[in-house]
C-alpha cells in the first residue's frame, strides 16, 4: 500500500491544501521560473501542450514536469 503522503501527492493534495493540476500561463511561468512571454513562446513552438476551455488556455502541471525532465542534462 502507498504511504499516505504518496496518496496525497497523487491526488493533488499536499499538506491539506489542494494543488491545482491546471495552471494559467502566468502561473505556469511562475512554476517554471520563466516569464509569461517565455511560456507563450514555448506554447507557440509546440514545446508545451495546452488545455483549452472556452477562450482560456491552461497548462497541465504534469506536462510542465515532463518538459523539465526532458531538459535535464546528465
**What pLDDT digit, counting tens, does each position of 6-62 carry?**
554 555 666 778 889 999 999 999 999 999 999 999 999 999 999 999 999 999 999
Q: Which triple of cell numbers denotes residue 52? A: 483549452
Other CB atoms within a 10 A radius of the CB of residue 28 amount to: 27
Could you give the 3-state DSSP secondary structure of residue 28? helix
Q: Which triple of cell numbers denotes residue 14? A: 499536499
Task: Read off the pTM.
Answer: 0.75
Which candidate, 15, 3, 16, 68, places its Cα nearest to that of 60?
A: 68
- The residue whose grid cell reads 496518496 is 7
Q: How many DSSP H helices and E strands does the chain contain? A: 4, 5
Amino acid at each position: 500500500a502507498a504511504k499516505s503522503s504518496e496518496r496525497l501527492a497523487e491526488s493533488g493534495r499536499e499538506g491539506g491544501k489542494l494543488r491545482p493540476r491546471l495552471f494559467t500561463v502566468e502561473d505556469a511561468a511562475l512554476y517554471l521560473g520563466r516569464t509569461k512571454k517565455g511560456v507563450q513562446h514555448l506554447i507557440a513552438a509546440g514545446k508545451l501542450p495546452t488545455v483549452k476551455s472556452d477562450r482560456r488556455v491552461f497548462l497541465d502541471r504534469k506536462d510542465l514536469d515532463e518538459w523539465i525532465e526532458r531538459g535535464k542534462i546528465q
